[in-house]
Amino acid sequence: MTLRWYSISVASNYEKKVAETIRANAEKFGLSDSIKEIVVPVENVVEIRRGKRAERERRFMPGYVLIRMEMSNEAYHLINEINRVAGFLGPRGNPSALNENEVNDILNRASEGQIQPRALITFEVGDKVLVTDGPFEGWNGMVEDVDNDNSRVIIGVSIFGRVTQTELSFDQVTKDN
């Protein structure tokens, strides 16, 4: 049995529903041994709404579901005939298997997103911000550097007429209009 990763294109916002239907149909028609793993790639992101920090799940590959399976005619048709499935990636009738390294990167990104949520807020150098948490809470400052990978900003805060730099996380500051 050769298990390989495949990607199917599905209607956006129906990724989880399609994954559940594939699981149910695989059990119903005795193909659970052929279809081993079904993944909807998601990551957790942090949003600031009305000044409150909120975590939510976001699909980072909208419209796609990854399946680790042994390709057979039965499995191919079982998946292809599900509502909201546009089809497998690759030539019609001959799905292309995905590269293992690419799939591992996607799965790692998904698991990292669950461990350390990413912020959806974007800051740019020169943005005026208000510090909402930490030792400078309530102070205004200006963004001097942005580290999007680690969700941190360096801001300059004017104290006694001198600008002092401080590094804060995205959720400790809000844009000041």
92-98 long-range Cβ contacts below 8 angstroms, 24+ apart: 95/6, 95/71, 96/6, 97/4, 97/5, 97/6, 97/71, 98/4, 98/5, 98/6, 98/7, 98/66
- Please tell me the distance from the alpha carbon of residue 75 to that of residue 77, in angstroms, as a whole number: 6
pTM above 0.75, yes or no: no
Q: Which domains does the chain have, with CATH numbers?
A: 4-119 (3.30.70.940), 128-175 (2.30.30.30)
pLDDT tens column, 123-157? 889 999 998 887 788 889 999 999 877 788 999 99
pLDDT tens column, 40-59? 988 777 766 666 677 778 78
